[in-house]
């Protein structure tokens, strides 16, 4: 069968679907599934057509078969979407929840914490055999629905030999099985078009999102009033978790760049799930920590000289801490615990000037260092450092820091910190002498 003819049938199905001609759309998509059981886009559209025709039970059956086929191929996020669609029609459907448990059982995640997520939907084969305009296109009414179900209720057999036990899915990977099923049941599934705003910069963060299919761009506003694109993301990406955990405003805007299916978990749903499954918030925090640490070792000058294995060994010596708004990280005149690196959140560096007025020397955010001046110069803290919002850090204890910088092979690190210390102390002195002078972002004081 030619690619041109197959494409023509798909285009016809799209037109009929948009025109809400559900019966003829069902005929098109069921015919495509008959010719190619692996055409999962057609399965989803046929299932939706059944639902709009009022065939709720059969729509559940069709979605369930789609989920089983996707599971067999290893497309776990899309299998979750098919299950969620079925559960939206019949909440608590046992066969669908059993499939979700099998999705969880098929799950796998690699040692680095980065999910090897396959494409959300597999590519659609174009070369198929069969009478394209035969079996289903001439039918209508109950005869069409009955015939379509003989195709749509079937699913492909398992073709993968997978013995691993954790899902290649962001956030969901380490959840317990029943917590995973509960999460899928409780989350919302959004069907978004191109150009829809998922997250808006500066707004309160009350939800976390997982892009199941489609994609989006991440952009941030500039001082000039324009915006700059930071990244493009696709299926399998989790976004929005940092603001949810820290109560900080969204740091960027996320806009879909194509039609997308997105799971959404609100703070309210997260709290409901946490009441039943303690592992849900724990795993969200753990996932965020792994992502933040991954960003840290990639971008921080502190880790730049180290090989990958040495970076991981150094990270294991850091201790995680969380500070609430108003809580001090360092107090002027007192010894610090160690070297702090801000993972997420915000702190203010303050010091009194000669007249006794409190001067804000700097506002520090993700990736900034705190405490190196006291450690390098073997003195007490030269200023107060206070969390201005909920802030997560990792801290290298003072003894471990001393051992790190004393090793000859780490001379580059010590040189970097000494140079930074002298430069920032000089700038602090200038800022205290001229308290009205604005400090540029590049002139941030590191303590």
Q: At 136, which CATH number?
A: 1.25.40.10
Quick check: is 94 in a domain? yes
- pLDDT on residue 170: 63
Of residues 439 and 320, which shows the higher confidence score? Answer: 320
128's CB contacts (< 8 A; 6+ apart) are 1, 6, 35, 36
- Report field, pTM of the whole predicted structure over 0.85: no
What is the pLDDT of the chain when averaged over all its residues? Answer: 79
- pLDDT on residue 96: 95
Quick check: is 438 in a domain? yes
Assign 168 a pLDDT band (cuts: 50, 70, 90): very low
Q: Are residues 152 and 205 in the same domain?
A: no
d(CA 330, CA 321): 13
d(CA 224, CA 20): 45
d(CA 286, CA 280): 10
Name the CA radius of gyration of the chain, rounded.
27
Q: With a cut of 80, say whether residue 253 has pLDDT above it.
A: yes
d(CA 199, CA 256): 10
Q: Give the mean model confidence (pLDDT) for residues 192-212.
A: 90
Q: How many domains does the chain have?
A: 3
- pLDDT on residue 347: 92
Q: Are residues 267 and 319 in the same domain?
A: no
- pLDDT on residue 401: 84
- pLDDT on residue 256: 95
Assign 17 a pLDDT band (cuts: 50, 70, 90): very high
Q: Are residues 152 and 220 in the same domain?
A: no
- pLDDT on residue 135: 55
Q: Are residues 272 and 219 in the same domain?
A: yes
Quote the tokens at residue 201: 């910069």
- pLDDT on residue 386: 95
Q: Are residues 427 and 321 in the same domain?
A: yes
Q: Are residues 152 and 202 in the same domain?
A: no
- pLDDT on residue 273: 87
Assign 404 a pLDDT band (cuts: 50, 70, 90): confident
Quick check: is 413 in a domain? yes
Quick check: is 320 in a domain? yes
In terms of average pLDDT, the best of 58-72, 232-246, 342-356 is 58-72
Quote the tokens at residue 315: 């990270």
Percent of the chain with pLDDT over 70: 81
Q: With a cut of 60, say whether residue 134 has pLDDT above it.
A: no
- pLDDT on residue 442: 38
Quick check: is 41 in a domain? yes
- pLDDT on residue 385: 94
Of residues 148 and 90, which shows the higher confidence score? Answer: 90
Cα–Cα nearest to 81, from 121, 118, 117, 110: 121
DSSP 204: B
- pLDDT on residue 433: 61
- Residues 141 and 79: beta-carbon distance below 8 Å: no
Q: Are residues 274 and 351 in the same domain?
A: no
Q: Is the torsion defined by CA of 220, 226, 232, 236 positive or negative?
A: positive
Question: pLDDT by residue (tens digit) across 118-127?
Answer: 444 443 332 3
Quick check: is 297 in a domain? no
In terms of average pLDDT, the best of 47-56, 178-187, 373-382, 422-431 is 47-56
Q: Give the mean model confidence (pLDDT) for residues 17-30.
A: 92
Of residues 287 and 444, which shows the higher confidence score? Answer: 287
Assign 87 a pLDDT band (cuts: 50, 70, 90): very high
Q: Are residues 119 and 214 in the same domain?
A: no
Quick check: is 302 in a domain? no
In terms of average pLDDT, the best of 139-153, 227-241, 328-342 is 328-342
Least confident segment among 17-21, 78-82, 321-325, 351-355:
351-355
What b/e string do you get for 112-134 counting C-beta neighbours within 10 Å, with b at 16 or more? ebebebbebbbebeeebeeebee
Q: Are residues 151 and 12 in the same domain?
A: yes
In terms of average pLDDT, the best of 54-63, 262-271, 351-360 is 54-63
Question: pLDDT by residue (tens digit) across 92-120?
Answer: 999 999 999 998 887 644 334 444 444 44
Distances in whole angstroms, Cα of residue 339 to Cα of each of 333, 345, 368, 403, 413? 16, 17, 11, 12, 13
Q: Are residues 226 and 109 in the same domain?
A: no
- pLDDT on residue 425: 67
Domain of 348, in residue numbers: 308-443
Question: pLDDT by residue (tens digit) across 28-62?
Answer: 998 888 888 888 889 999 999 999 999 999 999 99
- pLDDT on residue 108: 46
Beta strands in 143-244 (DSSP E): 188-192, 197-199, 207-213, 215-221, 227-234, 237-239
d(CA 361, CA 66): 58
Residue that is written with structure tokens 């309160």 in the block: 204
Quick check: is 407 in a domain? yes
Q: Are residues 41 and 146 in the same domain?
A: yes
Q: Are residues 105 and 149 in the same domain?
A: yes
Quote the tokens at residue 210: 């997982």
């Amino acid at each position: 069968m030619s690619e041109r003819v197959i494409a023509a049938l798909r285009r016809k199905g799209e037109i009929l679907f948009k025109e809400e001609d559900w019966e003829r759309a069902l005929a098109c998509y069921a015919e495509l599934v008959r010719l190619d059981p692996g055409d999962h886009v057609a399965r989803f559209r046929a299932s939706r057509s059944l639902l709009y025709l009022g065939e709720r039970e059969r729509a559940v059956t069709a979605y369930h078969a789609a989920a089983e086929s996707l599971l067999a191929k290893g497309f776990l996020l899309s299998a979750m979407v098919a299950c969620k669609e079925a559960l939206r029609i019949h909440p608590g459907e046992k066969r669908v929840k059993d499939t979700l448990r099998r999705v969880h059982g098929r799950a796998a995640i690699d040692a680095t914490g980065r999910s090897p997520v396959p494409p959300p939907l597999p590519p659609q084969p174009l070369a198929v055999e069969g009478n394209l305009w035969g079996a289903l296109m001439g039918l209508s009414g109950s005869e069409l629905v009955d015939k379509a179900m003989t195709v749509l209720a079937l699913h492909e057999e398992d073709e993968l030999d997978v013995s691993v036990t954790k899902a290649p899915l962001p956030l969901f990977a380490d959840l317990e099985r029943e917590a995973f099923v509960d999460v899928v049941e409780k989350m919302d599934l959004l069907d978004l078009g191109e150009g829809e705003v998922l997250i808006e910069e500066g707004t309160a963060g009350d939800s976390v999102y997982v892009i199941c299919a489609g994609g989006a761009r991440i952009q941030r506003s500039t001082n000039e009033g324009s915006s700059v694109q930071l990244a493009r993301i696709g299926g399998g990406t989790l976004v929005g978790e940092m603001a949810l955990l820290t109560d900080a405003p969204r740091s960027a805007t996320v806009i879909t760049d194509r039609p997308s299916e997105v799971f959404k978990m609100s703070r309210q749903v997260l709290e409901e799930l946490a009441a039943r499954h303690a592992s849900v918030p724990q795993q969200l925090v753990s996932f965020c920590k792994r992502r933040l640490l991954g960003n840290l070792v990639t971008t921080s000058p502190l880790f730049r000289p180290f090989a990958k294995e040495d970076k991981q060994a150094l990270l294991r010596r850091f201790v995680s801490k969380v500070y609430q708004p108003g809580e001090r990280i360092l107090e002027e005149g007192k010894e610090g615990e160690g070297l702090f690196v801000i993972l997420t959140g915000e702190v203010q560096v303050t010091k009194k000037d000669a007249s006794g007025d409190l001067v804000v020397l700097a506002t520090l955010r993700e990736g900034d260092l705190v405490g190196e001046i006291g450690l390098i110069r073997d003195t007490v803290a030269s200023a107060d450092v206070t969390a201005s919002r909920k802030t997560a850090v990792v801290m290298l204890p003072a003894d471990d820091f001393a051992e790190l910088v004393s090793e000859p092979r780490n001379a580059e690190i010590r040189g970097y910190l000494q140079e930074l210390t002298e430069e920032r102390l000089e700038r602090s002195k200038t800022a205290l002498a001229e308290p009205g002078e604005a400090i540029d972002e590049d002139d941030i004081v590191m303590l």
